Amino acid sequence: MKSAIFKSATCAACSLGTASVFGQSSVTLYGLIDAGLNYTTNVQTGRSGGALVGHSQYSFQDGVSGGQNGSRWGLLGSEDLGGGLSAIFRLESGFAINTGALGQGGAGVGRQAYVGLKSNAGTVTLGRQYDSVATTVGPFSAAAQWGGYMSSHAGDVDNLLNTRRINNTIKYSSPDYHGLSVTGLYSFGGVPGSVGRNQVWSAGVGYANGHLSAGAAYLNARTPNFGFYGTNPSAGTTLTSNNIGSSGSATTAESNPIYAGYASASTVQIAAAGAAYQFGAATLGATYSNTQFRGLGNTSASGPNPLGYRGNATFNSAEANLKYQVTPSFLLGVAYSYTRNSGADERSGATYQQGSMGADYSLSKRTDVYAIVVYQHVAGTDSLNQPAVAYITGQTPSANNHQTAARLGMRHRF
């Protein structure tokens, strides 16, 4: 009996000693579920006699396509290593609540997957992560605040809403210095004999002090059809693959006609800035982005170019948004965005004008219900060299130049 008690006491002492040497550690399980009913007008169903055919659609959708947030669950961990240094990790998996399928093209932990070190000098993480444009400028957009995927800029061309994740990255995030912070990311292409192929890098700077906050960031992706748009397991890997979209067929709808025609770009670069000012219960925000598909026609390394494009295609997007906290539980928001595609090869481009409205009511700290309505009108010629059609992000493109989408949704966090 005494021997057993002594052994138990010794083990307990060893455990306490280990804890004091290695510090405290924690792992948190968390998640979010976003489900709702959507109504979308003029949804493409295919072609008849060469003309696009469209019908209204009622559907049950996960938040990743038509709501405020994609459903997910994750593990967030940290361990105190002493001296102000901590080891951290995050594994976050997306899924569709309506079918149970894995998100992000079937990736097991497709939203985020990283491990790293955190100290008073900043945080360094390695894995699958968000770029600096998304994390620094994205929060100023209506889509990130209350509007969700449907209210993002045309096709989320500037990635302000994290449509694209970056693989094989090392990322640095600074601490807050009197409201100022910086971040930088580099993705290794991993192609033998070609350091630059599939390479991605980005950097950003943010500022927040009192009622004013602002941010600016830049991203550069080489052979983006694979290194930026093709980072999910379901992506194509051959030079005939178009990981941005498709032109559709007689029985299938188009996919992302806004910039699907630019898969042969040798580089994509995005420069973006945003700001917000809070006065009382209202917050006024704005964003601007310049997205360039450069070096079109790089079929030997980037992707297909059936339309024979050369040169560059540039998108300029601007947004103004306003949200008003009516009560601590009730929020209203409105936004307007304008996106202009210059076209490629001196061909005519297209304009995308979009208005969004949203309302959110919190039933508790963890559960809320919301409504979003988005209307988009377009004009000109799109990247598939045809009369531009409306395409509200996350929905199926329209059969004509306008489209409306509405959603009633519910979110629960755990």
CB of 336 closer than 8 Å to CB of 354:
yes
The predicted pLDDT at position 18 comes to 39
For the chain, the straight-line distance linking the first and the last C-alpha, in angstroms and rounded, comes to 45
Distances (CA, A) of 355 to 151, 334, 374: 8, 8, 6
Positions in the chain short of pLDDT 70: 1-23
The predicted pLDDT at position 22 comes to 53
What lies within 8 Å, CB to CB, of 122 at 6+ separation is 172, 173, 174, 175
The predicted pLDDT at position 190 comes to 84
CATH superfamily of 25-413: Porin (2.40.160.10)
- Which two tokens mark 190? 């991993």
Give tens-digit pLDDT for 23-78: 689 999 999 999 999 999 999 999 998 899 999 999 999 999 999 999 999 999 99
- Structural domain boundaries of the chain? 25-413
Distances (CA, A) of 118 to 77, 111, 115, 125, 178: 12, 21, 10, 8, 19
